[in-house]
Amino acid sequence: MKDEEKTKEQLINELVELRKQILELKKSETERIQAEEALRESEEKFRNLAEHSPNMIFINKKGRIVYANKICEEIMGYKRKEFYSPDFDFRILIPPESIDLVEKNFRRYMKGKDIPPYEYKLLTREGKKIDAIHTTKLINYEGESAILGIITDVTERKRAETEVGLLLTITRVISESRDFNSALKITLRKICEVIGWNYGEVWIPCPDETFLECGPPWYSSTRSLEKFRLLSEKITFPPNVGLPGRVWSSKQPEWIQNVSIQPDTFFIRARIARESGLKAAFGVPIIDNDQVLAVLAFFKISEPRAEDKRLVELVLAVIAQLGSLIQRKQSEEALAEMALFPELNPAPVLRTDYDGNILLANQGAHRLCSTKKLLGKSWYTLCPELDREAFEGLIHCQDTAQHECRIGERNFLFTYLSSSERRQVYIYGADITQLKNLEKQLRQTQKMEALGHLAGGVAHDFNTLLGIILGYGDMIKDDVPENSLTRDNTEELMEAVYRAKDLIKQLMDFSRPGEEERKPVQLVSIIKESVKLLRASLPTTINIHQNIAAESGTVLAHSSGIQQVIMNLGMNAGDAIGEKIGELGISLVEVEVDAELAGLKEVQQGHYLRLTVSDTGCGLEPEVLEHIFEPFFTTKDVGNGSGLGLSVVHGIIKSHGGFITVHTEPGKGCWFHIYLPRVED
């Protein structure tokens, strides 16, 4: 046979070849053992790394989880044997809003496609949602294709980002807000939008801090909560009463799982909360320097909700920074309001340097000086009564100094406050024109009262003397013949005495007006009678124009006194017009006397009848106007007037509880306005 016929050399060659094969087999076995050992070491390293990783790591093979590290158990709340069970469905770990995304990416992985990391939510065994970033890679596991998944829990990072974003937004809107209330309103809206709640409100301590009151800012995502808001505006919470009151007192947040089932003693608005569909609620304090500035309360329309500490911590983290921001905003508002004080002050407020140059001026100063450009001008030129020497004396006073000055038609009292550090002077002006007029009026009233007392005394004594003269005149008449010269002279004498008695009566009326009993009278009828008398007494060149309101009301007066007032003013008007063609106007209207005018004239405010007697005569000069109501003062020629007419008019009107104002324009005429208090018919 051929095999038997093999040569020795061939056998040797075969043995050599066989040895090589044996050596190669040994080498392959060694390499296999080494590879297995390396694989075991690699798997051990993987497990060590995976078990100590802060991220969740799992291996999914054919839809089953075949490996999950320890952190998966801790975070998700499931045991590993539950993960590895053939019946475990990984979809129970995915909330509804993320399931489509996860299944879509899973199918793509199974087709061998790489997917970049993506973000979604996980659902723990306790129902808590976790923000996660999922990174996956296709691997060979035990000889088969599998998915290696690494899940990073970014819940805290997302929360921090939300906090920072919300805080930055709130900080920006607060700084841009017009006022404290608008800042809080935007804060409530932003927080509600971020946490997904429906209603937010703010409760602010009252000035004496005895209770909380509902602040103007509020937010609602639905109009159905307006009724709840309206009720809240009518409620106040003392300490430890209601959700806001308890948060205020404890300075701690409080959560209510379901406000609609709470008794009224615990949640006062429970009934209206049920009607509005509100369930969960929580309140948090805004604190700065251990002081509660406000309490924020939030409500949600949903099913009852257990306390969400994460949500409360988020809101607390935001409003922890809010306290100082709100305090700063309130301080800014207070400063802005303080800055408005001088600007809104109608009186002049200025600041000058030590040389009197104006550095700052409010609108009141600009109006006073009738210019829009005051800066840089000298205070001396605007206040001509003040010279440099007097100004320097004022600014170097230890305390404030004052100086009266007349600018245009107004009187001002300027107060000077010097700042030696800034070398500036603050000037505050007060319009004292009315005060000066009141002082003048008071002096005039005192003068009139003194003259009244004097006139009364003189009139009484003089009346007694005239009575004696009349008595003796009667006796002389009886002793002389009727047609004798002596009797005629005696009658002329007695006629003069009677005229003197009429004059004395006017003096008595001036000194003791109002002694006659007053009754409710219609001024219209008195005016009509007086006009008839005036028409007969005045020249035909003077037209009498009447403007009498038909329903003019009633006053409490004595008719003869009012008629005397109208006749005196009418005759004076005729004298003022003289022989020229002119017009005498008489009008009667009902007016309202406000508190300011009533205080100025020392009468009661309310409804008055205003009787106006005007003329188109020569008018009165200002220096004459000051004295027209003084007894014996007259502008008529000697022998043409007693000077008592307007004095008596003034006394009669004052005794009726009224007052008189006079307006005159030289060359155009006079307007006497008589105010008498109206009474009910």
Per residue in 580-602, pLDDT (tens digit) is: 888 999 999 989 998 888 887 88
Please answer whether residues 284 and 308 qualify as being in contact, where contact means their C-beta atoms are separated by less than 8 angstroms: no
Lowest mean pLDDT segment, chosen from 273-277, 368-372, 463-467, 484-488:
368-372
Q: Give residue 330's pLDDT band: very low, low, confident or very high (50, 70, 90).
A: low
Most confident of 438-442, 510-514, 623-627: 623-627
Judge whether residue 176 has pLDDT over 50.
Answer: yes
Q: At what angle do helices 155-176 and 309-344 cross, to 10 degrees?
A: 10
pLDDT at 284: 93
Q: Name 667's bridge partners.
A: none
Better-scored residue on pLDDT, 9 or 636: 9
How far apart, in Å, are the Cα atoms of 83 and each of 50, 342, 500?
Answer: 16, 75, 130
How many Cα atoms occupy the beta-carbon half-sphere of 283 within 13 Å? 26
Name the token pair of 436.
Answer: 């000066």
Residue 617 φ/ψ, nearest 5 degrees = -80, -150
Sequence-ordered strand ranges (E) for 124-210:
129-141, 144-153, 199-205
Percent of the chain scoring above 70 in pLDDT:
78
User: Using alpha carbons only, how large is the chain's radius of gyration in Å?
Assistant: 52
* Polymer length in residues for the chain: 681
Burial letters 33-53, b for 16+ CB under 10 A, else e: eeeeeeeeeeeeeeeeebeee
Of the candidates 675, 680, 681, the residue with the CA atom closest to the CA atom of residue 594: 675
Quote the pTM value: 0.42
Residue 480, amino acid: V
pLDDT at 353: 84
pLDDT at 210: 93
Please answer whether residues 119 and 154 qualify as being in contact, where contact means their C-beta atoms are separated by less than 8 angstroms: yes
Judge whether residue 247 has pLDDT over 70.
Answer: yes
The stretch 156-163 carries a mean pLDDT of 78
How far is it, in rounded angstroms, from Cα 442 to Cα 253?
66
Lowest mean pLDDT segment, chosen from 68-82, 113-127, 164-178, 626-640:
626-640
pLDDT at 241: 93
The stretch 210-219 carries a mean pLDDT of 91
How many Cβ atoms from other residues are within 10 Å of residue 81's Cβ?
Answer: 8
Judge whether residue 253 has pLDDT over 90.
Answer: yes
Q: Give residue 638's pLDDT band: very low, low, confident or very high (50, 70, 90).
A: very low
Chain mean pLDDT for the chain: 80
Q: Give residue 613's pLDDT band: very low, low, confident or very high (50, 70, 90).
A: very high
Judge whether residue 483 has pLDDT over 60.
Answer: yes
Name the token pair of 340.
Answer: 């408005």
Please answer whether residues 542 and 583 qualify as being in contact, where contact means their C-beta atoms are separated by less than 8 angstroms: yes
DSSP structural state of residue 599:
H
Q: At what angle do helices 433-479 and 485-511 cross, to 10 degrees?
A: 150
pLDDT at 259: 92
How far is it, in rounded angstroms, from Cα 218 to Cα 206?
17
